[in-house]
Structure 1
């Protein structure tokens, strides 16, 4: 990465700061559900980079709350012609936390939720109208602390490719898909310095078409790709 590349706040993080990823043929082959089930089940869990998590831990020190609140996001995968696609949303611009950013469907745990998986399933259905059931679960990634004070568990599930999306405009501006192979390219997701409150932190970021995917979402996708042992 070019050492001169540096972001000072969320407004300066844009597509032009990200170099094009190195192309590699093998991960770009179609990735089927069968392939992913085998690969994921045989791969050890990937831990998050402590240098990237440090931004969240430092943010917690400045807040009055002492414990992270549990939350979940859903990594929903739809298979089309033997290739898996990841469902992503663009958050509504009026939201308090991370407005306009690219994210997975998700949210905090409610008392009515049976467990963290129930949270991810419920949140996805509420935000985009897409359903999943436990028989189509692949598994979970390691929980991740965030700057907004949550401990987020990424849940992975397969969804019907013929889903009928119903977007909650209070939460989501748009829903789109990205082929899973895009995230598995060599150096597709890059780590970059990010200056906040006089401190420099590392973040992950990548671009896809006109979308900038960064922060927690990119960090989760990077961990997922690392667990698949393709980078």
Structure 2
């Protein structure tokens, strides 16, 4: 199945904003609360299992990303990256650090930690893995395991300029409030695609969080809200 790439997602019409859904309470967004929820999850189902179809010339491949929750004094933040514009997959997009599983990796946690260190230079000594989210299937044929981790402050980053244009943090409370979740529809050549976005405004710049990254964050929301 061939899927049409969306190159300007911010221009796709917004069909709905989920302002009617409750935000995750502040007491459920602490490091301990999230650790406990992942250790003993409720009976829940991810809202998004994947992007639907995939490009016809790709074989499925394993991948893992780190969902790095930085423990700031003001509350947890999520560390994200903006990909460089020349990459074959997900060029210019907002992403979690991560990538393809390599033969030497001992499972998705090893992949997520290795890729995070290679891409942004975040040392493992600052990272404490606390769980995983359900596998997400991307349109580019990756089976992605999101690995959730707490990150102790005091780290420094060294970005791989070939893959990562910048790294930035977003308050987790912002992302776990559905009032900031927008549904989009994109139509071209008789093909309709739908996706979620969570645009984040920082100073004079907007970071358009969308697609697989937004979908995995929505799954985290469903886990934390417990429904």
Report the TM-score when normalising by structure 2.
0.84
2:209 aligned counterpart, secondary structure = strand
What do the CA deviations read for 1:1-40 (whole angstroms, capped 9, x no partner)? Answer: xxxxxxx963442279557763999646373211221233
Equivalent pair of 1:33/1:84 in contact (CA under 8 Å) = yes
| CA drift at 1:206 | 1.5
Match of 1:29 in 2: 26
Measured after TM superposition, the shift of residue 129 of structure 1 is: 0.6
1:78 aligns with 2:70: yes
1:213 Cα shift?
0.4
Q: 1:166: which partner in 2?
A: 158
CA distance in structure 1 between the aligned counterparts of 2:106 and 2:117, rounded to whole angstroms: 16
Does the 8 Å CA contact 1:72/1:107 hold for their aligned counterparts?
yes
3-state secondary structure, aligned to 1:79? strand
Q: What's the offset of the Cα at 1:77?
A: 0.9
> Residue 41 of structure 1 corresponds to which residue in structure 2?
39
SS in structure 1 at match of 2:124: coil
RMSD value, Cα: 2.7
State the Cα deviation string for residues 105-160 of structure 1 (Å, max 9, x = none): 01001111111110000000000011236982111111111111110110011112
Aligned residues: 217
2:216 to 213, 220, 224: 220
Structure 1 length-normalised TM: 0.82
Shift of 1:64: 5.8
- Structure 1 gaps of 5+ residues are 1-7
